[in-house]
């Protein structure tokens, strides 16, 4: 089993770019398509704790039932928000990557570079044409 896990949605460009950067570092991660195999409630609690962010920061609004469930209402506790994610896995923002160096919500996808144990093995360009790692192996400046 790989030391790197990605909670992945193959329909998401950010998630695809993140997975490609992991692979460009020479690693083959454990890929969990969380819409097909949602994390358990306990695993969600662990992931949020390891991210070190409030539960609200892992909620995805776009393309989800966030608005119809009125999840921006301050009345919802963290436990209740976790329950909503368990009921509607699409609410989990992605991709979340776990490595020996930490856990990150990789938005933007380059955030994964902070927690990869190995450097990029070659140039990397995102699907949209944005250069992340140039031909000299340097991180491109935005």
Residues classed as catalytic: 12
Strand spans (E) along the chain? 5-8, 30-33, 96-99, 102-105, 124-125, 131-133
CA dist 54 and 48 (Å) reads: 7
Classified as helix, coil or strand, 66 is coil
3: which 2 tokens?
């030391």
Residue from 120, 134, 88 nearest 18 by CA: 120
Token look-up 């992991």 returns: 22
CA dist 126 and 14 (Å) reads: 9
């Amino acid at each position: 089993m790989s030391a790197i896990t990605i909670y992945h949605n193959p329909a998401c460009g950010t998630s695809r770019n993140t997975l490609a950067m992991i692979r460009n570092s020479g690693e083959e991660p454990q890929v969990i398509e969380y819409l097909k195999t949602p994390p358990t409630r306990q695993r969600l609690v662990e992931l949020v704790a390891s991210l070190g962010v409030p539960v609200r920061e892992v909620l995805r609004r776009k393309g989800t039932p966030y608005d119809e469930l009125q999840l921006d209402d301050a009345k919802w506790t963290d436990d209740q928000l976790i329950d909503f994610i368990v009921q509607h896995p699409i609410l989990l923002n992605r991709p979340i990557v776990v490595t020996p160096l930490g856990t990150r919500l990789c938005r933007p996808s380059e955030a994964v570079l902070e927690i990869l144990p190995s450097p990029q093995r070659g140039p990397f360009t995102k699907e949209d044409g944005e250069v992340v790692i140039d031909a000299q192996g340097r991180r491109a400046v935005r």
